[in-house]
Amino acid sequence: MSDGPGGGFAAGGSANRGGALLVIGDVVTDVVARYRTPLAHGTDTAAEIRTLPGGAGANAACWAARTGCADVRLLARVGTDAHGWHEERLRQAGVRAHLVVDDRAPTATVICLVDASAERTLLTDSGASLCLSPADWSPSLLDGVARLHLSGYLFFSDASRRLAVSALRSARERGVPVSVDPASAGFLKELGTDRFLAAVEGVETLLPNADEAELLTGLTDTADAAAELSRRVPVAVVTLGARGALVAEAGAVRARVPPVPARAVDSTGAGDAFTGAFLAARLAGADAVAAAVEGCRAGARAVTVTGGRPDVT
């Protein structure tokens, strides 16, 4: 949809018991290549290759819808090249998407190289996703919203960072809690941790992985990093991949949530699945620990499928 700020959410969809979840983030075309032998430099390596919808923000929204949130909304920017395809896939997943169409930048594309251990390496062309700007935001987008989630990728360009800060400010004025997934240790290094932490001041929940938590705090022990982050924000939830998650509040680790066993084929989007399920549970009234348990369950389901979204077939 190319309508202006505030459009796209006025009708349709049933109300979640705790209100709607609004996610602002990225919609991405993922090219996922699963290979089983070491990459052969300068020649061919056999792989299974699929083109799938993705993006940290969009993935989290889809997993929130899959795990029980009845009203999930997404604000994102895409190019003209794949607008219709992405809009339809989000609709099938139960997400009410407001996709701002950019006629100059293409839809973001990520090449996901997934090795035999299911670990992924990403080559990222952010395209239109980081072209979101304050002009795409209106406080009216928060009407009916009980939680706002910001994809950390928004903070890695000037325009989308200004939008994120504006949305955070609007949410705080309305008393809407805000969560942020820092998204990328590599991009965090480029931006600078001090700039990122300043930009997310006032959020209720940070959802980093272990690498991001350690980078943000300068601490090498993940539990210490989680505790330190919870001195900056009310809730810090650190995902540990196959080791579960840590929940920290008020400067101390409150719980170590065990992992859910799974046979992993692709780790792409596992953290997004955790985020989506965690937020759906919080909207349903769960505390942070119980929500993290749901997040671990969703993350375990996510690694058993190729790509970052739940299967809608």
Write out pLDDT tens, residues 128-178. 998 999 999 999 999 999 999 999 999 999 999 999 999 999 999 999 999
Q: Which tens digit of pLDDT belongs to each residue from 195-253?
A: 999 999 999 999 999 999 999 999 999 999 999 999 999 999 999 999 999 999 999 99
Mean pLDDT of 179-196: 92
Q: What sections of the chain are H helices per DSSP?
A: 56-66, 83-92, 158-174, 185-191, 193-199, 210-217, 222-229, 270-283, 288-302
Contacts of residue 9, Cβ cutoff 8 Å, sequence gap at least 6: 73, 96, 98, 141, 143, 144
Residue 189 pLDDT > 50: yes
For residue 16, the model assigns a pLDDT of 39
8-12, 182-186, 240-244: range with highest mean pLDDT = 240-244
* Alpha-carbon span 141 to 21, nearest angstrom: 11
Whole-model pTM: value is: 0.91
- Supply angle C-alpha 213, 275, 313, rounded to 5: 140
For residue 130, the model assigns a pLDDT of 87
What distances in angstroms separate CA 69 from CA 143, 149, 233, one per listed residue? 16, 14, 24
Judge contact between 211 and 241, C-beta under 8 A: no
Which band of pLDDT confidence, cut at 50, 70 and 90, is reported for residue 11?
very low
For residue 120, the model assigns a pLDDT of 86
Question: 3-12, 40-49, 69-78, 104-113: which has the minimum mean pLDDT?
Answer: 3-12
Residue 18 pLDDT > 80: no
Mean pLDDT, the chain, integer? 92
In angstroms, the first-to-last Cα distance of the chain is: 24
* Alpha-carbon span 309 to 273, nearest angstrom: 8
For residue 216, the model assigns a pLDDT of 97
* Alpha-carbon span 41 to 250, nearest angstrom: 49
* Alpha-carbon span 93 to 294, nearest angstrom: 19
Mean pLDDT of 25-29: 96
* Alpha-carbon span 289 to 237, nearest angstrom: 9
Mean pLDDT of 267-271: 90
